[in-house]
């Protein structure tokens, strides 16, 4: 794969030199060169397809990892909220029992 990138860079370098740095003209020149060499064009197309497939797989993998991390974070946050709610209810019940015990002693 590295040799394909070097080929692309070399084509770009040669085209830019030939076109005195004009990007549009360099692109047109590369397209002309590739039209004259179908085998090289095919090689580049296959390499670029492989690159795009790998990029899509890596992107989807990162998306799935991020989604899993988000779900774990949400589950932890829900667990913390549940613990806080349970603690609050337990404190409230203890306070009610304490107050009920105090009133029972007076009655």
11-21 pLDDT per residue, tens: 999 999 999 99
Q: Taking all residues of the chain, what is their mean pLDDT, rounded to a whole number?
A: 91
pLDDT at 5: 77
pLDDT at 6: 84
CA pair distance 40, 96, nearest whole angstrom: 83
pLDDT digits over 51-75, tens only?
A: 889 899 999 999 999 999 999 999 9
CA pair distance 61, 89, nearest whole angstrom: 42
pLDDT at 1: 58
What the block records as the tokens of 60 is: 């989807």
| Dihedral sign computed on CA atoms, order 46, 48, 51, 52 | negative
SS3 labels along 9-63: HHHHHHHHHHCCCCHHHHHHHHHHHHHHCHHHHHHHHHHHHHHHHHHHHHHHHHH
Domain borders along the chain are: 2-82
């Amino acid at each position: 794969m590295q040799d394909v990138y070097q080929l692309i860079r070399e084509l770009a370098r040669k085209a830019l030199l030939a076109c005195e740095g004009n990007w549009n003209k360099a692109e047109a020149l590369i397209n002309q060169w590739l039209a004259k060499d179908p085998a090289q064009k095919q090689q580049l197309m296959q390499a670029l397809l492989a690159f795009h497939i790998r990029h899509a797989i890596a992107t989807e993998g990162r998306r799935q990892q991020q989604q899993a991390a988000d779900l774990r974070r949400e589950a932890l946050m829900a667990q913390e909220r549940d613990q806080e709610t349970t603690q609050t209810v337990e404190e409230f019940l203890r306070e009610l029992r304490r107050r009920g015990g105090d009133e029972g002693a007076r009655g």
